[in-house]
Amino acid sequence: MSNTTTLQLEVEKAKTSKINEVDFDNLAFGSVFTDHMFICDYVNGEWKTPKIIPYQSLVIDPSARVFHYGQAVFEGMKAYKDDNDQIWLFRPKDNFDRINKSSKRMAMPEFPEEYFFEGLKTLLNLDKDWIKKGLGNSLYIRPFVIASEPGVMASPAEEYKFIIICAPAQAYYGGEVRVKIADHYSRAASGGVGAAKTAGNYAAQFYPTKLAKEEGFQQVVWTDANTHEYLEEAGTMNVFFRIGDKLLTAPTNDRILDGITRKSVIEIAKDKGIDVEIRPVKVNEIVEAAKKGNLKEIFGSGTAAVITPVVGFGYKDKKWDLPKLTDAYSSVIKEAILNIQYNKSEDKYGWRYKA
Ligand X SMILES: *Cc1c(COP(=O)(O)O)cnc(C)c1O
We find the least distance from the C-beta atom of residue 78 to ligand X, in angstroms, to be 9
Question: Binding segment for ligand X among 9-17, 208-216, 298-306, 316-324 (CB under 6 A)?
Answer: 298-306
Neighbours of 13 (CB within 10 A): 11
Q: How far apart are CA 117 and CA 109, in angstroms?
A: 17
In this structure, the chain runs to a length of 355
Residue 257 in contact with ligand X, rule: CB under 6 A: yes
Helix axes 92-105, 113-126, angle to 10 degrees: 130
> Smaller CB distance to ligand X: residue 103 or 301?
301
Number of chain residues interacting with ligand X (CB under 6 A): 14
Among 37, 40, 260, 283, binds ligand X (CB under 6 A): 260
Among 34, 218, 261, 343, binds ligand X (CB under 6 A): 261
> Smaller CB distance to ligand X: residue 142 or 228?
142
* One character per residue 148-187, x = contact with ligand X (rule: CB under 6 A): ----------------------------------------
Among 71, 209, 236, 330, binds ligand X (CB under 6 A): 236
Task: Please compute, for residue 167, the number of CA atoms within 13 A of its CA located in the half-sphere on the CB side.
Answer: 16
Question: Binding segment for ligand X among 31-39, 62-70, 247-255, 256-264 (CB under 6 A)?
Answer: 256-264
Residue 141 in contact with ligand X, rule: CB under 6 A: no
Q: Which of 353, 296, 346 is nearest to 320 (CA)?
A: 296
We find the least distance from the C-beta atom of residue 45 to ligand X, in angstroms, to be 29
Burial (CB < 10 A; 0-12, 13-18, 19+), residue 280, is: middle
We find the least distance from the C-beta atom of residue 214 to ligand X, in angstroms, to be 22
> Smaller CB distance to ligand X: residue 9 or 237?
237
Neighbours of 201 (CB within 10 A): 20
* One character per residue 187-206, x = contact with ligand X (rule: CB under 6 A): ----------x---------
* One character per residue 38-77, x = contact with ligand X (rule: CB under 6 A): --------------------------------------x-
> Smaller CB distance to ligand X: residue 167 or 237?
237
Q: How far apart are CA 225 and CA 140, in angstroms?
A: 32
Q: How far apart are CA 97 and CA 250, in angstroms?
A: 22
Residue 302 in contact with ligand X, rule: CB under 6 A: yes
**Start-end of H helices in the chain:** 65-69, 92-105, 113-126, 199-214, 260-271, 283-292, 329-341
> Smaller CB distance to ligand X: residue 260 or 283?
260
Question: Binding segment for ligand X among 150-158, 165-173, 259-267, 334-342 (CB under 6 A)?
Answer: 259-267
We find the least distance from the C-beta atom of residue 97 to ligand X, in angstroms, to be 11
Q: How far apart are CA 143 and CA 162, in angstroms?
A: 7
Neighbours of 195 (CB within 10 A): 19
Helix axes 260-271, 92-105, angle to 10 degrees: 140
Task: Please compute, for residue 45, the number of CA atoms within 13 A of its CA located in the half-sphere on the CB side.
Answer: 0
Site residues (vs ligand X, CB under 6 A)? 76, 197, 233, 236-238, 257, 259-262, 301-303
